[in-house]
Structure 1
Amino acid sequence: MDIIGLDGISKESLEMQLQQGGRFVVYSYCISIIFMTFRRNSSIYYIKPHMSSVGKGLGFTLLSLLFGWWGIPWGPIYTIGALITNFRGGRDVTQEVSYSLTGQSVVTGQRVV
Structure 2
Amino acid sequence: MKINGLDGISQETLEYELQQGGKFVTYTYCISIIFMTFRRNSDVYYIGPHMSAVSKGLKFTLISLLLGWWGFPWGPIYTIGALFTNFGGGKDVTEELSPTSAEGSIAY
TM-score, with structure 2 as normaliser = 0.91
Q: How far apart in 1 are the matches of 2:94 and 2:100?
A: 12
Identity of aligned residues (%): 74
After TM superposition, list the pairs within 5 Å mapping 1:1-113 onto structure 2. Answer: 1-98=1-98, 101-104=99-102
Distance 2:29 2:100 in 1: 29
Amino acid paired to 1:8:
G
What do the CA deviations read for 1:4-41 (whole angstroms, capped 9, x no partner)? 00001111111000000000000000000001000000
Q: State the Cα deviation string for residues 57-99 of structure 1 (Å, max 9, x = none).
A: 000000000000111110000000000100011010010011x
The CA RMSD measured in Å over matched residues stands at: 1.3
- Cα distance between partner residues in 1 of 2:77 and 2:23: 28
Partner SS, residue 3 of structure 1: coil
Structure 2: distance between partners of 1:64 and 1:24: 21
User: Which runs of at least 4 in structure 1 moved beyond 3 Å after TM superposition?
Assistant: 101-105
Letter in 1 for 2:54: V
Give 1 or 2: higher strand fraction.
1
Equivalent residue pairs, number: 103
Letter in 1 for 2:20: Q
> Residue 37 of structure 1 aligns to which amino acid in structure 2?
T
Unaligned runs of at least 5 residues, structure 2:
104-108
Where does residue 109 of structure 1 map in the other structure? none
Distance (whole Å) between structure 1 residues aligned to residue 20 and residue 100 of structure 2: 16
CA–CA distance in structure 1, aligned partners of residues 101 and 93 of structure 2: 15
Report the secondary structure of 1:61's partner residue.
helix
SS at match of 2:49: coil
Answer whether contact 2:68 2:76 (CA < 8 A) is retained: yes
Q: CA deviation at 1:52?
A: 1.1
